[in-house]
Amino acid sequence: MAFFLITALVYALDQGSKFLAASRMSFYESIPVIENIFHITLIKNYGAAFGILPHMRNFFVVMHFLVILLILFFIRQIPRRQVWLRLGLALQLAGALGNLTDRLRLGYVLDFLDFRIWPVFNVADSAIVAGVFCLAIGLWRMTGREKQPS
């Protein structure tokens, strides 16, 4: 239950933040929040991370669906006590759903978080990265337990 609640909350945050940015800004407009450090800059991302492989929408849609199906399959295999693994997959599922929604609805992904030293990204991207860290922590903790004597 917590898995789907986390997924739904992060998905709603992603889609809500994209809606707010898109409804209040023009594309490529940049609003400084902290001058030269953090801006809200609305862009269309036709590719993957950092805009790589632009205009391969069908490929990305298929990959999103595969990732979503794999997550939904694997989450049933992970015991509830494996909190870090479950949290990581919930965040990754939310991120995949958020960016898939954009690709299906718009044909591109809306990005708007601009730290100036990094390509512009969104909440879904952040959830995917945070999910990777949670999975790494969960796997590290599992490995640590296996090494401890019984």
Could you give the residue numbers annotated as active site? Answer: 111, 125
Let me know if 36 is exposed, middle or buried by CB neighbors in 10 A (0-12, 13-18, 19+). Answer: exposed
Cβ atoms within 10 A of the Cβ of 122, count?
Answer: 24
C-alpha 40/C-alpha 38 separation (Å) is 7
Q: Rounded to 5, what percent of the chain is helix, strand, coil?
A: 65, 15, 25
C-alpha 123/C-alpha 113 separation (Å) is 8
Could you tell me the sign of the dihedral formed by the alpha carbons of 75, 76, 78, 81, in that order? positive
Structure tokens that stand for 25 in this block: 């800004």
